[in-house]
Amino acid sequence: MSPIQSMSQTSQQSARPPAPKERLTGTSVLLSLFLTLILIILGERGLYDLNRLFNPHYQDCNQANFLITRGDSCPAEQFAFQNVLLHSYVSFPLFVIFLILMLYLRHHRLNTWQKALFRVSGVVSIFFGLQFIAEAIIFLLKFHYLVGIYVTLVLAAIMVAALVIYLERRAAKKRSAAQVKR
């Protein structure tokens, strides 16, 4: 800005109207929800089959609660541990891949269909990530109670802190956008 230009001229030159946002159609949103549901069901079925095929204690326990409570016929702790371990082989890499992809694509301009698929993959990977965390916590609370309590409380504190940070950043963006409009 040169000293001769007034402040109003520079603000008019730099304040370009924002590009119109491309919005998803109602049909796209509905189909995205349907795709999300299909991918979650597919993933659940895949995790079930993974457990059935590769868990060495599956035949002994056969996932029936009455067999687990009978005693020695089923090594319940080993079965549950193998179940959590096998689910982590799928859930954790899926979650990490999505996070890396999200960080990479965060500053790229995406088309609406890319945004829709990105959101679907995000919901699915977050679902499986949270499911893995829940399974691990249930395992710890059932078989290692004291450790489970501490892990649960630490994870709850981390999640609440992350949620507070996210909400405050979002509110700050809205406040700054409102001040720019004035």
Which pLDDT belongs to residue 169?
A: 94
CB-based contacts of 46, cutoff 8 Å, min separation 6: 90
pTM value is 0.70
Over residues 104-130, the mean pLDDT reads 83
Q: What is the pLDDT of residues 122-139, one digit of tens each?
A: 899 889 988 999 999 999
- CA neighbours within 13 Å on the CB side: how many for 78? 13
Number of Cβ within a 10 Å radius of residue 136: 20
Number of Cβ within a 10 Å radius of residue 124: 21
- Domains of the chain, by residue range, sit at 26-143, 146-182
DSSP secondary structure of the chain: --TTS-HHHHHHHH-PPPPPPP---HHHHHHHHHHHHHHHHHHHHHHHHHHHHH-TTHHHHTT-HHHHHHSTTS-HHHHHHHHHHHHHHHHHHHHHHHHHHHHHHTTS---HHHHHHHHHHHHHHHHHHHHHHHHHHHHHHHH-HHHHHHHHHHHHHHHHHHHHHHHHHHHHHHHHHHHHH-
Q: What is the pLDDT of residues 145-171, one digit of tens each?
A: 999 999 999 999 999 999 999 999 999
Q: Which residue has the higher pLDDT, 6 or 150?
A: 150
| Identity of residue 171 | A
Over residues 108-114, the mean pLDDT reads 78
Q: What is the pLDDT of residues 38-89, one digit of tens each?
A: 999 998 999 889 888 888 888 777 655 544 455 566 788 888 898 899 888 8
Q: What is the pLDDT of residues 10-44, one digit of tens each?
A: 555 555 666 666 677 888 889 999 999 999 999 89
